[in-house]
Amino acid sequence: MTPEGQALLRQGAAELGLTVEDQLPQFEQLLDLLVEANSRVNLTALKTESDIVLKHFVDSLSCLRGGHLDGAGLRVLDIGTGAGFPTLPLAIMRPGVAFTPLDSIRKKIDFVRSAAEALNLTGVTPLVGRAETLGRDPEHRERYDRVVCRAVAALPILVELGLPLLKPGGLLVAQKGPIGEEELHAGRRAAGEVGGKVTEVDAFTLPVLGDARTLVVIEKVGPTPKKYPRREGVPNQQPLF
Ligand code: SAM
């Protein structure tokens, strides 16, 4: 990573209240691995160092706002992790948390697995599959303390995919761009349908770039009816609200 890239990472992290000094070598290695892998397989549209540092690394770290992912031993599922975001930056910063990055695309999870191994992120257990399938599998249903997701789907869809996987009292932490009243309203109604309640809507701007972001936190306050999640693809094709 160039000195400019390091400075952006330091500044972005500092604006989030984080110090990345000890973790810089891991972020540098992750950047190298991502750039190298992306030259062979199409993993992410972001190609420049500053884009990767700000829009993947710092953006992922913004999921730490509010402290919902702090706590040794937490089990966190990342739905639709793609090339490992937000999981990989979060796992670098929170080595005591157990992350399960999930994606339906095998080549993406192959990269996440090899990167996690190279970075010695022993708490990361990547999984190929769909959230709808996991949500009906007793090995995964109601087994996670937190579900995170970044840039995956509209809120009512995320709620149907995420809530079945949470333990009672668990939290869905959805990182999104600016969120309109309509989506938020639909998300609240969907949450009510699957045993969740919106407890926090944290609107903020991304460090350095100033892009609008929202962290929506939904708590599992009651059981999720057995009929949810519906079968693969249905939550996207026919959102609850
Ligand atoms: N979270 C990553 C990021 O922020 O860079 C990737 C975002 S990408 C736009 C969305 C990813 O979600 C894709 O890789 C897609 O395969 C995955 N995805 C979408 N729906 C999914 C589902 N129901 N189960 C598992 N993965 C899903």
Extract the tokens encoding 184: 């938020």
Contact 140 CB / ligand 1 (< 6 Å): no
Q: What is the pLDDT of residues 178-203, one digit of tens each?
A: 999 999 999 999 999 999 999 999 99
- Reduced to 3 states (helix: H, G, I; strand: E, B; else coil), residue 17 is coil
Which domains are assigned to the chain? 71-237 (3.40.50.150)
Tokens 């709620």 found at: 159
Q: What is the pLDDT of residues 47-89, one digit of tens each?
A: 899 999 999 999 999 999 999 999 999 999 999 999 999 999 9
At residue 64, the pLDDT reads 98
Residue 209: HSE in the Cβ half-sphere, 13 Å Cα cutoff: 18
Which residues in 119-145 are b (16+ Cβ under 10 Å) and which e? bebebbebbeebbbebbeeeebbbbbb
Mutate which of 152, 158, 172, 238 for ligand 1 pocket (most atoms within 8 A of beta carbon):
152
Tokens 């670098």 found at: 92
Model ipTM over 0.95: yes
Contact 150 CB / ligand 1 (< 6 Å): yes
Those residues with Cβ within 8 angstroms of residue 55's Cβ, 6 or more apart along the chain or in another chain:
46, 209
